[in-house]
């Protein structure tokens, strides 16, 4: 009698299958193909790393609960995981209480007025932030981009994904914009590159909300009132 394959064997077979099929998937923001979304979500659940469009620049990320995937993203960025300052992409503000604490009413109102949009908010991290990401850091970055492709992926996954921008050592064009060229560069390094059209070259505005007053750490695409 042949025994059923263990969960580990199934996972291993899936891992090698996705390694053999590096994908460039075309998705449209207004109506992303549910089959492609499901395929991407399944890959994330198995520890995959993806590149995707946002409302600013192209990003790279993984499931926040997959420690090895987080380490993989850190290696691709050329940094140690414990020194990384990765942010989360959430689908809405309902995840806020899970990963951030001490969010006062003015901060919540500010985030609600800006999101979805090209902003990253730095907040005090809760104890529920995975240790593979938090390490000894006391803060977490929260993003809700105005891009339905990545938001639909996060919705179907059921929890946030880790995110970091694709940044190049190029003083003229720091952020790659052409998804086909991104695929050619990263096809052997990540599992899926999502073609959501040309990306931008201006990153998100970073606002630190851990102090008494919000502080702009980086002026990006998101406008900030004086």
pLDDT band for position 11 (cuts 50, 70, 90): low
| 169 pLDDT above the threshold of 80 | no
Mean pLDDT of the chain: 88
User: Is the pLDDT assigned to residue 86 strictly greater than 50?
Assistant: yes
pLDDT for the residue numbered 97: 85
Predicted confidence at residue 208, as pLDDT, reads 97
In this structure, is residue 226 part of a structural domain?
no
Q: Tell the burial category of 201 from Cβ atoms under 10 Å away from its Cβ (0-12, 13-18, 19+).
A: middle
pTM above 0.75, yes or no: yes
CA angle 198, 80, 155 (to 5 degrees): 45
Within-domain flag for 187? yes
pLDDT at residue number 20: 41
Q: Higher-confidence residue: 85 or 47? A: 47
The CATH number for 191's domain is: 3.90.870.10
How far does Cα 56 stand from its chain's mean position?
Answer: 12
Q: Is the pLDDT of residue 139 over 80?
A: yes
What is the domain range of residue 23? 15-218
Three-class SS of residue 66? coil
173 occurs within a structural domain? yes
Judge whether 6 lies within some domain: no
Into how many domains does the chain fold?
Answer: 1
Nearest to 88 by CA among 130, 56, 149, 48: 130
Asked whether residue 132 is assigned to any structural domain, the reply reads yes
Note the Cα 157 to chain centre separation in Å.
Answer: 12
Residue 95 counted as domain residue = yes
Residue-wise pLDDT for 89-117, tens only, equals: 999 999 888 899 889 999 999 999 999 99
User: Would 156 be classed as within a structural domain?
Assistant: yes
Q: Is 4 contained in some domain?
A: no
């Amino acid at each position: 009698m042949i025994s059923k394959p263990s969960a580990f064997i199934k996972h291993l077979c899936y891992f090698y299958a996705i390694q053999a099929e590096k994908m460039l998937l075309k998705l449209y923001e207004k109506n992303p193909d549910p089959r492609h979304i499901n395929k991407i979500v399944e890959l994330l659940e198995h520890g995959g790393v993806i590149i995707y469009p946002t409302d600013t620049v192209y990003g790279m990320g993984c499931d926040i609960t997959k420690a090895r995937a987080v380490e993989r993203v850190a290696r691709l960025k050329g940094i140690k995981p414990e020194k990384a300052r990765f942010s989360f992409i959430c689908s809405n503000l309902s995840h806020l209480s899970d990963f951030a604490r001490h969010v006062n009413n003015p901060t919540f109102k500010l985030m609600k007025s800006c999101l979805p949009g090209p902003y990253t908010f730095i907040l005090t991290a809760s104890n529920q932030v995975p240790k593979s990401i938090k390490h000894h850091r006391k803060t977490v970055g929260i993003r809700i981009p105005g891009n339905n492709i990545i938001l639909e992926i996060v919705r179907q996954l059921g929890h946030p994904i880790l995110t970091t921008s694709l940044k190049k050592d190029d003083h003229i064009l720091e952020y790659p914009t052409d998804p086909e060229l991104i695929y050619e560069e990263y096809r052997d390094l990540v599992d899926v590159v999502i073609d959501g059209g040309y990306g931008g070259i201006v990153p998100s505005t970073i606002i630190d909300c851990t102090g008494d007053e919000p502080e702009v750490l980086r002026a990006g695409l998101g406008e900030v009132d004086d």
